[in-house]
Amino acid sequence: MAATTRAARTVAVPLGGRSYDVLIGPDLLTEAGRLIAGRLGKARCGIVTDENVASHHLAALEASLRAEGRLKGSIVLPPGEATKSFRELGPLSERLLEMGLERGDLVVAFGGGVIGDLAGFAAGVLRRGIRFVQVPTTLLAQVDSSVGGKTGINTPQGKNLIGVFHQPSLVIADTDTLKTLPVREMRAGYAEVAKYGLIGNAGFFAWLEQAHEELFAFEQETLVTAIETSVKAKAAIVGRDEHETGERALLNLGHTFGHALEAWTGYSDRLLHGEGVAIGMCLAFRFSEHLGMCPAGTAERVARHLAAVGLPTKLADIPGDAADAETLVRLMGQDKKVRDGALTFILARDIGDAFIENNVPPGDVRDFLAREIAG
């Protein structure tokens, strides 16, 4: 196996013959060509990115791949959640074919969760599946969406309802790319970092309560440690439950609420994915308290920390018209975890002790949300 940059930390995702590494550290874009060539052979690379990432970082990645003779071309798409759509998937797939990518070549998903999900989906169906590399440039993508092989697009019926499980062959998380993120995007990604403490590592959540200011100041050791801890947690769960038949559903803490909120706001800038997850996690803990499953005051502690980093924590924090409980429950009915019309939620007994609750009556959720909306 090729050597990595000295500063990079490596987390293995254990999937037998499809195992892969996640490399985490600064200044990895300049090494990307060497890392890809050393680990994945002589494959040619087609980059998929968005306009925002391209303006800051595309030249560096192209130069790195070109130096190894691996660059086939680049495709630059519009930024934003609306890009995860059939409207973009078809033309993207055709452009990758026109680029001349063959089954042994690589799609390089260079961007945040939107690009990773869309480009990964295109790779999964192109020529019935070609390999791809994730080069995530947002905190959310580096700690969550780039790892685990979930790819897909959104539809009016809901988020990520069409897609495939298609594992990357390598993930290269250059922490320097986070320095060009708008602070709102950085905060949104932090929601997924906090999630890993909330679902199964109370000590990590307590550490974040003390260390979050250093993370947002880009103190390298704190930032890399937070990303590495998050990725290790996800890699372990994915290794045990790749296709979300059980334990992996824990990673959806806050997402059943959050995805419904995203759909309700039309996948617009009113609510970023991580912001929806932040509100969703607070709702999940308040719902757990409401059901008598979680000690009183726990939800307030969660909300207090997320608010301290600038994240929304309640429905009233979403700009624009107020949410409607009936509409939100209907949107939750499109969630991938619905079975026989009953909702599945990730609830909590305490911080660091989340569990899967099947068969939650929609009426209970509707009544709870109505109270939340009423304030």
- Distance CA(369)–CA(275), nearest Å, equals 17
Name the percent of the chain lying above pLDDT 70.
96
- Distance CA(92)–CA(361), nearest Å, equals 41
**Per-residue pLDDT for 95 more than 90?**
yes
Could you say which of 154, 180, 206 is where a domain stops? 180
Assess whether 192 and 171 both reside in one domain: no
- Distance CA(132)–CA(134), nearest Å, equals 7
pLDDT band for position 120 (50/70/90)? very high
What pLDDT, on the 0 to 100 scale, is given for residue 267?
Answer: 87
What pLDDT, on the 0 to 100 scale, is given for residue 2?
Answer: 39
The answer for residues whose C-beta is within 8 angstroms of residue 252's C-beta and 6 or more apart is 337, 346
Assess whether 231 and 344 both reside in one domain: yes
**Per-residue pLDDT for 307 more than 90?**
yes
Q: Of 72, 159, 234, 305, which is the active-site residue?
A: 234
Provide the 8-state DSSP code for 243: T
Q: Which of 36, 16, 6, 137 is nearest to 79 (CA)?
A: 137
Asked if residue 215 is part of any domain, the answer here is yes
| 71 or 336, greater pLDDT | 71
Provide the CATH number for the domain around residue 351. Answer: 1.20.1090.10
Assess whether 164 and 258 both reside in one domain: no
What pLDDT, on the 0 to 100 scale, is given for residue 157?
Answer: 83
Asked if residue 1 is part of any domain, the answer here is no
- Residue 290 is a catalytic residue: no
Instruction: Say what angle helices 273-290 and 255-264 make with each other, to 10 degrees.
Output: 130
Asked if residue 290 is part of any domain, the answer here is yes
Q: What is the tens place of the pLDDT at every residue in 260-278?
A: 999 899 888 999 999 999 9
AA identity, residue 147 = V
Asked if residue 4 is part of any domain, the answer here is no
What pLDDT, on the 0 to 100 scale, is given for residue 212?
Answer: 98
What pLDDT, on the 0 to 100 scale, is given for residue 340?
Answer: 65
What pLDDT, on the 0 to 100 scale, is given for residue 5?
Answer: 46
Assess whether 61 and 168 both reside in one domain: yes
What pLDDT, on the 0 to 100 scale, is given for residue 336?
Answer: 56
Strand extents, DSSP E, the chain: 9-13, 20-25, 45-50, 71-77, 106-111, 131-136, 153-155, 158-162, 170-174, 343-350, 353-360
Assess whether 13 and 148 both reside in one domain: yes
**Per-residue pLDDT for 69 more than 60?**
yes
Assess whether 169 and 198 both reside in one domain: no
- Residue 337 is a catalytic residue: no
Q: Dihedral sign for Cα 349, 318, 322, 343, please.
A: negative
Domain count, the chain: 2
- Distance CA(343)–CA(335), nearest Å, equals 8
Assess whether 205 and 171 both reside in one domain: no
Q: What is the tens place of the pLDDT at every residue in 138-188?
A: 999 999 999 999 999 998 888 889 999 999 999 999 999 999 999 999 999
- Residue 234 is a catalytic residue: yes
- Structure-block tokens of residue 139: 């905190």
pLDDT band for position 6 (50/70/90)? low
What pLDDT, on the 0 to 100 scale, is given for residue 319?
Answer: 93
- Residue 66 is a catalytic residue: no
Average pLDDT score over the chain: 94
Q: Of 81, 185, 192, 262, which is the active-site residue?
A: 192
- Residue 128 is a catalytic residue: yes
What pLDDT, on the 0 to 100 scale, is given for residue 342?
Answer: 72
Q: What is the tens place of the pLDDT at every residue in 182-197?
A: 999 999 999 999 999 9
**Per-residue pLDDT for 32 more than 70?**
yes
Q: Of 34, 131, 150, 159, which is the active-site residue?
A: 150
**Per-residue pLDDT for 4 more than 60?**
no
**Per-residue pLDDT for 316 more than 50?**
yes
Assess whether 141 and 194 both reside in one domain: no
Q: Dihedral sign for Cα 62, 66, 67, 69, please.
A: positive
Give yes or no for a contact between 53 and 115, defined as CB atoms under 8 angstroms apart. Answer: yes
Identify the domain containing residue 354 by its residue range. Answer: 183-374
Average pLDDT over residues 127-137: 97
What pLDDT, on the 0 to 100 scale, is given for residue 47?
Answer: 98
Assess whether 153 and 205 both reside in one domain: no
Name the percent of the chain lying above pLDDT 90.
85
Count of other CB atoms within 10 angstroms of residue 145: 26
